[in-house]
Structures are given as structure tokens and as C-alpha cells.
Structure 1
Amino acid sequence: MDKGIVYQLCLDFIKQRIQTAETALAQAREASNDDTKSSAGDKYETSREMMQQDIDRNKRLLMDAQENMKTLEAIGQATASDTVSGGSLVYTNEGIFYISISAGQLHAGGKTVFAISAASPIGKLMLGKKKGDDFSFNGKKYLLNEVL
């Protein structure tokens, strides 16, 4: 499994999230601008508030995606280490994990890789571990077979 391929899959994932958030934000702003005041003042204010909440939610999604992009870019510049850290590809007896951003299951080369954040519960348990170390999570024992 090539770490570069997994990195690219994460990059594609986050670019898609940014694009989706930008599109949703633009649509929400357009809908808000197109809304004209009607004679039913309360309905207008309620509608306006709902549109503003939609805009705010999409702004948060966009900011989150942009933060994930920064995290990913920093990982792309990280040097290889035999200790689990951001950017590590970790082979365990329970699966392959890429310590990066929370992107879920990714498929590369016929294998499934779990892209997880270092801040996730399982990510925190892996940080600082080396090949041969183990840890328990949700009642399962994980053995680190390889750290790339």
C-alpha cells in the first residue's frame, strides 16, 4: 500500500467537502438575497432567520473542511518515522489506519484503509506507539504490525 495514494484519496475527499460547502453556502446566500419581504412580517422574519442559520451552518462546514485541508497539507510535509504520528500508515491485526483526517473508509489497491484523525479516540491510543506495541479499544486488542 502506497502512503502517497492514501494521502491523495484524503486530499480528494477534503477537496470535495470544500467544494460542496462552498456551493451550499453560495446557494444559501443567493436564496437569502432573493427573498423579498412579504406582508406577513413574522413569516418573513422566520424565513430570514432559517436562511441565516443555513448560511452559518455552511460557513462552519467550510471552515472545518479548510482546517482539515491545513492538517492534511502539514501531514504531507511530515517526515517518515517508526513511531505513530500524523501521516503514519499503521498496519494492525484489525486493519490499516492512516493518521490524518477523519475521512472514514478509503479503498486503495484492493484494500480498505481507515483515515482517522490523531484526535479521535483510537488515534490518541495509537500516537507514540511503535511496531510490536499493542493497545485495547472497544474490547479489541490491536497489535501494530507495521508503521510507515
Structure 2
Amino acid sequence: MNIKEELYKQCITYVNNRLQTIEEIISSNQKALQSETKSSAGDKHETGRAMLQLEMEKAGQQINGVVKMKETLSKINLKGSSEVAHLGCVIKTTKASFFLSISAGQLIVNNENYFAISVSSPIGRILLGKKEGDTFVFNTTKQTIKEIF
């Protein structure tokens, strides 16, 4: 399996794990909401329900984020190669290696570190459209693109 395919696979795993965690939170909150019975301390009961409701809304927003990540991953073409950085490219610079995909953080392939970054992240926006040999500054650090594949 090549580097790009392995990075892609790790991003899929990241998204699936995240979705599972969110679903577990929702399930747990639904059970808590159902088991909340009206007690003599009415205000305390209402506050608890409101907090659970807020948690459910937050989890719903997180699911929307996961759905967007899945959509982004579905647009990646692992076969294509390009001289210009675009979604699905691996970009090696003088300082780090990046996989333009979703914001999944640090991934390791063949004992080498890669950072899965979104094209809409600050560094992703800088890298998008760059070519091998191009230089850029990110967080006051100058970097040169050594390789794009």
C-alpha cells in the first residue's frame, strides 16, 4: 500500500472513530434524559434536562462536522498525480509533510510523520495551488516544498 492510500485509510478510521464516539455520547444522553424523573427539586431537574439538551445539540453539530469530513474524503482521487497541490496530495516541505484532506492531526506511515490538514485550514489555504520548489511562510517559519504527490 502506498503512502497516500495509507494516509487516506487512517483518515477514514479517524472519522469512523469520531462518529462512534459522538453516537455513544448521544445514546448516553438520551438514556439520561429518559431516566430523569420529575423530582421534588423541580428547578434542579429542569437545569439537568437543559444541560443534557445542550449536550445533544453539541453532539448534533459534531455529527454534521463528521458528515462534512466524509464528503471531503469521498472527493479525494488517490490515483491522480499533479504538480500543483490540491485535495488528496501529499506535500513534503523542508519542515514537515502534509496530507491535504481533513483535519485529522498527526498520522504516521512507515515511521514518518504526516499532518492531515484541511484545505480550509490556514496552512491548507497556503499550500493549495503551490508547486514543488515554491517557498512560503507559515507561523513565521519559511518552508520550501520539496515534493508533491
Q: With structure 2 as the length reference, what TM-score do the two structures score?
A: 0.94
In structure 2, the CA distance between the partners of 1:33 and 1:76, relative to structure 1 (3 Å rule), is farther
Q: Is the 8 A contact 1:91 1:146 kept in 2?
A: yes
Change (3 A) 1:5 1:41: same
Structure 1 counterpart SS, 2:72: helix
Task: Work out whether residues 5 and 78 of structure 2, in 8 Å CA contact, stay in contact via their aligned partners in 1.
Answer: no
Q: Which AA in structure 2 matches 1:13?
A: Y
Cα distance in 2 for partners of 1:75, 1:5 equals 13
Shift of 1:139: 1.1
Q: Cα deviation per residue 1:88-129 (whole Å; 9 max; x = unaligned)? A: 100110111000001111111010000011111111011100
Residues 78 and 35 of structure 1: CA distance in aligned 2, closer, same or farther (over 3 Å)? farther
Instruction: Specify the code of the residue in structure 1 equivalent to 2:46.
Output: E
CA distance in 1, matches of 2:133, 2:92: 11
Q: Could you tell me which residue of structure 2 aligns to residue 50 of structure 1?
A: 51
1:59, 1:109 → 2: CA distance?
36
Structure 2 residue aligned with 1:128:
129
| Backbone CA RMSD of aligned residues | 1.3
What is the aligned-residue identity percentage?
36
Task: Quote the offset at 1:79 in angstroms.
Answer: 3.3
For residues 148 and 53 of structure 2, the distance between their equivalents in structure 1, rounded to whole angstroms, comes to 46
Q: Is the 8 A contact 1:78 1:86 kept in 2?
A: no
Matches within 5 A, 1:68-83: 68-76=69-77, 79-83=80-84
Gaps of 5+ in 2: none
Q: What number of residue pairs does the alignment pair up?
A: 148
Shift of 1:80: 2.5
Which amino acid letter does the alignment assign opposite residue 145 of structure 1? K
Q: What 5-or-longer segments of structure 1 have no aligned partner?
A: none
Q: Whole-Å Cα distance in 2 between the matches of residues 26 and 138 of structure 1?
A: 41
* Conserved? CA contact 2:4–2:78, under 8 Å: no
- 2 CA distance for matches of 1:95 and 1:12? 22
**Is 1:62 aligned to 2:63, yes or no?**
yes
State the distance in 2 between where 1:79 and 1:108 align.
20
The farther-off stretch of 122-131 and 72-81 is 72-81
Tell whether 2:33 aligns with 1:25: no
Aligned equivalents of 2:54, 2:42: Cα separation in 1 = 18
